[in-house]
Amino acid sequence: MEDYRFVVVHLIAAFFICVVVCAATAPHAYAATSQSINVNLFVPGCGDGICEANLGENTTTCPQDCGGGATSTPTTTPTTTPTTPMVAGYVSSPSAIGGTIGVLNINNITTQYQGTSVIINWHNPPGSFTGVRIVRSPYGIPTDPLDGQVVYQGSGTYAFDTAGTSGTTYYYTAFSYNQAGTYSSGTVFGVVWPPTHTVTSSHNKHSVPQQQSSSPTKSSPPPASSFPVSSSFPLPVIASTTPVTQSFTSSSTVTATSTEPIALNQILFIQNGQQVTPATINGTLPLTIAIPDSVVSTAVPAGLLRTIITLNILGQNNYYLLRENSTDHALETNIDLSTTPTGGYPFSVEFWPNTGTPFVLSGTLSITRPVAASAGILGIGLTFTNIEQIVGLLLLLALFMLILRFARHG
Amino acid sequence: MFIKNTCTIIVCVGCVVAVMVATQAKADMHSANYAIPTDSINFGGGQSSSANYAQNSTFGEVATGRSSSANYALQAGYQQMLGASISISAASNVTLPTLSGLSVGTAVASSSWNVVTDDTAGYQLSIAAATAPALQDPAKAFFSDYVPSGGTTTPDYNFTTPNSTSNFGYSVYSPDATVMWKQNGSACNQTGGTNTLGHCWDGFSTAVQTIAQSSSDNQPTGATTTVTYEAGIGSNKLQDAGTYTATITVTAVAL
């Protein structure tokens, strides 16, 4: 009987031991049924945090990657005179006299608040224009198409910018480009980001703020119930440091000085491959304004952080960024004058050296157009647009008078 | 004393035999036409039910529970096998070849997953992206998700990038690829077509998309599905510099 009980006890004990052993050796090891991975892709270029000399990046072309300081602090950045071309693909056009005109900048940029958004309007240039890329930055003026956030890219003439911090000034540069991927020097403007409260324009003071789509649309023009952001955008860097300014009335009579190491007559005005003067600008032709590399390297050994040309057309300032040309390293911009009426317009060139005091040259750009004459013959209005037509008309009149004379006197 | 020791030995040997039998049971119960997916050594149990519930019970099973090795998982015991097991291999992160933001180009890379299931009903493998668009950088610049010309259910036979855009898509190569990844030499989503590497391209979505499916178990070798990724920059597109990342999740579900 004792043996029987012992056997039963052992059976039960062995069973539980086995169960415990089996349970202990059973780690709940189902393999996971989901796996997540990251697919990574690196796109090099200015703004990637790496100074890539093989892409032409240096302290001038890409200060955010190669050092050289923020673009809004021009006096704190020692660097050398640019000697290498900018990144291939977005340099400007050849500026040498006899060269061909490159991609023209957009102009006539205006900005308006629209609720909590900003509408940007502009005029596209003629010629080899494919589209415009607008980038912005709260830290300074973007100096190349990869510098800053992209606000718009396309062939339209307006865009909405919907994301910003109220009260923050954003600096924008619009780079037009052609089919080959060549970019213009850039047109600069700025916006103090709108407050988030209701628009107070008298046109819609009872309206409710509307949130705009964040993506630019080309489907229809924006509504007009808005008010200007600023009639003339004051470049904020000007306010931080007062530049030396001197105006010149004639480019042929000035020389460089210690405070203005570059003279106005050292700036090249080029149209149709020929050098022209600011007083004889043909409004039907694009205008290239260029500063040769030899002038910059001699006058400003520390190099230029930024150069901007301001052209005031009928009260509206157009700010053109000058950028280095890959061919001859000149600083240049290409300006569309096709919509600019005949007249004299003030312009200024602001130089911001990497070290030292900024300086400004200013003058007047006199834009003329081909001779236009009108004459009325027998009540019919005729317009003559060149001297050959006028001479032809005079000859025709002489012939007519001669015929009359013969008719009277037989 | 002899009886005591004998009983102890018998019990222990019985346990070991039971474990061995349970381990071998699955492999031994296949024939050309039939299979016994589950079996049990026990002394009682059966079906019982009430108005609202039903249960299948066994009594006296020995050597039950789960155990696993690097390549296999065992669920010993009749009730254990009422649930199917499925596993998916791990894949590493993938880095596409560097693309220049200033010029046209494409970058291709791939990753593979092996799915093993003992579910006689098979499995389903799906894929989803964590973001839309899938390939983004921290500044929110992105490659557009690939959009096939025939709609998202009909992948493009070849990967193309319009001049003015940059895009990111994928293709699927698998013995269990769904019909949308099968092509006839010029078009995809072809019933009876073949599944080949490098053809049939679609875009990612945050919505789950089924890419492979089978209707039978495939253990122990499983089935390997390869997902190929491709990113392209069009000739007129200037892509922002930066490091772009797409987080892709694949999920295998036993049917």
Using CB atoms, which residue from A28, A43, A90 is nearest to B99?
Answer: A43
Pairing of strands A373-377, A380-384: antiparallel
**The two three-digit tokens of residue A285, written as one number:** 């032709």
Pairing of strands B166-173, B142-145: parallel
The DSSP output letter for A5 is H
> CA B60 to CA B55: how far, in whole Å?
16
Q: What is the pLDDT of residues B70-126, one digit of tens each?
A: 767 677 766 665 567 788 888 889 888 887 665 557 788 888 999 998 888 899 999
Handedness of CA B66, B67, B69, B74 (dihedral sign): negative
If contacts are CB pairs under 8 Å, which of residues 19-38 in chain B contact chain A?
19
> CA A262 to CA B24: how far, in whole Å?
93
User: Is B201 in contact with B110 (CB distance < 8 Å)?
Assistant: no
Q: Smallest CA–CA separation between B47 and chain A, in Å?
A: 24
ipTM of the complex: 0.72
DSSP B96-164: PPP--TTS-EEEEEEEEEEEEE--TT-EEEEEEESSSSSEE-TTS-EEEEP--TT-TTS-BSS----TT
Q: In this predicted structure, what is the pLDDT of residue A73?
A: 27
Looking at per-residue pLDDT, the higher value among A50 and A18 belongs to A50
3-state secondary structure of A376: strand
Q: Percent of chain A beyond pLDDT 90?
A: 4
Using CB atoms, which residue from B63, B95, B98 is nearest to A22?
Answer: B63
Mean pLDDT of A378-387: 44
Q: Is B112 on the interface with A (CB under 8 A)?
A: no
Q: Is A349 on the interface with B (CB under 8 A)?
A: no
Handedness of CA A145, A150, A156, A159 (dihedral sign): negative
Q: What is the pLDDT of residues A77-102, one digit of tens each?
A: 222 222 222 332 333 444 444 455 57
Mean pLDDT of A65-84: 36
Q: Is A85 on the interface with B (CB under 8 A)?
A: no
CA angle A112, A118, A121 (to 5 degrees): 60
Highest mean pLDDT of the ranges A42-51, A269-278, A373-382, B47-56: A269-278
Q: Which domains does chain A have, with CATH numbers?
A: 240-368 (2.60.40.1930), 373-409 (no CATH)
State which amino acid sits at residue B142. Answer: F
Q: From the centroid of its chain, how far is CA B122?
A: 10
Q: Is B84 on the interface with A (CB under 8 A)?
A: no
**The two three-digit tokens of residue B159, written as one number:** 């990967």
Q: Is A156 on the interface with B (CB under 8 A)?
A: no
The interaxial angle of helices B2-28 and A2-24, nearest 10 deg, is 40
Q: A210 in the Ramachandran plot: left (φ > 0), alpha (ψ -120 to 50) or beta?
A: beta
pLDDT tier, B211 (very low <50, low <70, confident <90, very high otherwise)? very high
> CA B223 to CA B173: how far, in whole Å?
11
> CA B101 to CA B242: how far, in whole Å?
9
The dihedral over CA atoms of A153, A154, A160, A166, expressed in degrees to the nearest 10, equals 10
**The two three-digit tokens of residue B118, written as one number:** 């003992």
The DSSP output letter for B240 is P
Q: In this predicted structure, what is the pLDDT of residue B144?
A: 92
Q: What is the pLDDT of residues A270-327, one digit of tens each?
A: 888 788 888 889 998 889 888 888 888 887 777 777 788 888 887 778 889 888 776 6
**The two three-digit tokens of residue A298, written as one number:** 């001699």
> CA B240 to CA B255: how far, in whole Å?
43
Over 70: is that where the pLDDT of A166 sits? yes
Over 60: is that where the pLDDT of A114 sits? yes
Buried b (16+ CB within 10 A) or exposed e, B177-199: bbebbbbeeebbbbeebebeeeb
Q: What is the pLDDT of residues A228-245, one digit of tens each?
A: 333 334 443 333 334 444
pLDDT tier, B64 (very low <50, low <70, confident <90, very high otherwise)? confident
CB pairs under 8 A between A and B: 191
Q: Is B218 on the interface with A (CB under 8 A)?
A: no
User: Is A232 in contact with A317 (CB distance < 8 Å)?
Assistant: yes
Mean pLDDT of B150-160: 90
What element of type H or E holds A40?
A: strand A34-43
**The two three-digit tokens of residue A410, written as one number:** 């037989």
Q: In this predicted structure, what is the pLDDT of residue A378?
A: 38
Mean pLDDT of A189-199: 58
Looking at per-residue pLDDT, the higher value among A267 and B200 belongs to B200
Average pLDDT across chain A, whole number: 66
Contact at CB, A36 and B249, closer than 8 angstroms: yes
- Residues with Cβ within 8 Å of A180's Cβ and at least 6 positions away in sequence, in order, are none
Q: In this predicted structure, what is the pLDDT of residue B167?
A: 93
Handedness of CA A328, A333, A338, A341 (dihedral sign): negative
State which amino acid sits at residue B57. Answer: S
Contact at CB, A15 and B11, closer than 8 angstroms: yes
Residue numbers in A near B139 (CB within 8 A): 149
Contact at CB, A37 and B248, closer than 8 angstroms: yes
Using CB atoms, which residue from B11, B241, B250 is nearest to A44?
Answer: B241
pLDDT tier, A256 (very low <50, low <70, confident <90, very high otherwise)? low
Contact at CB, A89 and B92, closer than 8 angstroms: no
Mean pLDDT of A155-171: 81
Q: Smallest CA–CA separation between B56 and chain A, in Å?
A: 20
